[in-house]
Amino acid sequence: MSRFAEPMARLIEELKKLPGIGGKTAQRLAFHILRSPAADAEALAAAVREVKASLRLCSLCNNITDIDPCVYCSSPTRNRRLVCVVEEPTNIATIEKTKHFHGVYHVLHGSISPVHGVGPEQLRVSNLTRRVENGEVDEVILATNPTVEGEATATYLSQQLRRAGLKLTRIAMGIPVGSDIEYTDEITMLKSIEGRREL
Ligand SMILES: [Zn+2]
């Protein structure tokens, strides 16, 4: 039997389902919610409800959005013929921070991972394939992670999307800006040499 009152035990159980939240953290969060003003607890509950009720995936790019098409796909100032493919919606914010990308996105919601039983059929690719097949795209930038899964995904996509007239590019990988070659591991160094550019 739980040593907490039933509503408290239920809240702890629900919090424990969140990624990165173990039993101890779930208890701490539950007690924090219990002690906080009723208005704060209500606002949290309302925000959770709202996110499920109003957010969905953009029909063009799979970004999480409250309007369809999303802000990027519906923007008149963005180049829809340049598509940057990312694994997760959160990756978009990182690219946006550069303020130098003015194309649109495509979110896969994952990457190919045989170890975790994720195959190509589980990626959300069909709406990107359609855009490419309809001749709506000039360049696809594959910005999946520089991991085994991200590389496998990029290789798969380059095979699937290859068409005459379509430019397929992969983001550069190598030494982080501001770091020192002396402390760079050999794989990163190799990637840096492979990805060199002409000056
Ligand atoms: Zn979109």
Could you tell me if 96 and 105 are in contact, meaning their C-beta atoms sit under 8 angstroms apart? no
Predicted local distance difference test score (pLDDT) of residue 1:
53
Q: How far is the CA of 130 from the centre of ligand 1 (A)?
A: 14
Q: How far is the CA of 105 from the centre of ligand 1 (A)?
A: 7
Dump pLDDT digits (tens) for 158-180.
999 999 899 999 999 999 889 99
Dump pLDDT digits (tens) for 59-109.
999 999 999 999 999 999 999 999 999 999 999 999 999 999 999 999 999
Domains of the chain: residue spans and CATH: 6-54 (1.10.8.420), 77-194 (3.40.1360.10)
Q: How far is the CA of 190 from the centre of ligand 1 (A)?
A: 35
Predicted local distance difference test score (pLDDT) of residue 3:
82
Q: How far is the CA of 162 from the centre of ligand 1 (A)?
A: 22
Q: Which two tokens stand for residue 195?
A: 């990805």
C-alpha separations of 40 from 23, 44, 50, 137, 148 in Å = 23, 6, 15, 46, 42
Give bridge partners of residue 105 from the DSSP assignment. Answer: 84
Dump pLDDT digits (tens) for 101-152.
999 999 999 999 988 888 988 899 999 999 999 999 999 999 999 999 999 9
Neighbours of 123 (CB within 10 A): 22
CA 102 to CA 12: how far, in whole Å?
43
Q: Assess whether pLDDT exceeds 60 at residue 193.
A: yes
Indicate yes or no: pTM above 0.75. Answer: yes
CA 47 to CA 32: how far, in whole Å?
17
Q: How far is the CA of 63 from the centre of ligand 1 (A)?
A: 5
